[in-house]
Amino acid sequence: MLETGTKAPAFSLPDQNGTIHSLDEYRGRKVILYFYSKDMTSGCTKQACGFAERYPQITEKGALVLGVSKDTVASHKKFEEKYGLPFTLLSDPELSVIRAYDVWKEKNMYGKKVMGVVRTTYLIDENGIIVKAFGKVKAADNPQQMLDELD
C-alpha cells in the first residue's frame, strides 16, 4: 500500500464506455480511488452499490469515485448497467495502475496462494496527494467510511 503524504501515481485508463481518464483531469477535486477484484462478485457489488447509494453526498462534498479492477471495458459496462452505478469504473487488464498503487498481492483463496487485487481505497486530495490509505477494507463498510473521511 502506498504511504499517505505521497504523490498519487499518474494513470491513463479506459472507463466502462471506452473513454480514457487520467488522474490529472481531476485536479482541484478530491478523488476516492478504490481497487476491487472483480465485477459482479458479492463483495465488489456491495461496495459498488454502497458508493452508488452515497454518491450524491460524496459529490456534495466535492469528491468523486473511481473504481479500478482488471476487468474489461465490456465487463464494467455490464456491471454499471446492472446496478445503475453513477461513477466511473476503470479497466486495467495489464495491471499497470493496480501495480503502481501496490494492491497486487499474494492472497489465500481456498487454501491456495494466488495473486490478486487486495481491496484497497485511497483518498487523493485536490493536488494529487494521497491523504488517506485503507488496505484490506470491508466491502460493505468502505463507502460509509470514505464518506465520513470527507468531513
Closest CA to 11 of 95, 115, 107: 95
Q: Please state the separation of Cα 18 from the chain's center in Å.
A: 17
Sequence-separated (6 or more) residues with CB below 8 Å from residue 25:
none
Q: What is the pLDDT of residue 108?
A: 85
Work out how many domains the chain is built from and give that number.
1
Q: pLDDT for 2-38, tens place per residue?
A: 999 999 999 999 999 999 999 999 999 999 999 999 9
Buried b (16+ CB within 10 A) or exposed e, 84-108: ebebbbbbbeeeebbeebbbbeeee
Would 143 be classed as within a structural domain? yes
Structural domain range at position 46 = 26-149
Q: What is the pLDDT of residue 151?
A: 80
With cut-offs at 50, 70 and 90, classify the pLDDT of residue 143: very high
Would 4 be classed as within a structural domain? no
d(Cα 32, Cα 114) in Å, to the nearest integer? 27
Would 95 be classed as within a structural domain? yes
Cell of 52: 452508488
d(Cα 13, Cα 46) in Å, to the nearest integer? 23
Q: pLDDT for 38-75, tens place per residue?
A: 999 999 999 999 999 999 999 999 999 999 999 999 99
* Burial of residue 28 (number of CB atoms within 10 Å: 0-12, 13-18, 19+): exposed
CATH number where 123 lies: 3.40.30.10
Q: What is the pLDDT of residue 109?
A: 79
Catalytic residue among 8, 23, 33, 44: 44
Q: pLDDT for 79-136, tens place per residue?
A: 999 999 999 999 999 999 999 999 999 988 789 999 999 999 999 999 999 999 999 9
Would 97 be classed as within a structural domain? yes
Question: For this structure, is 49 an active site residue?
Answer: no
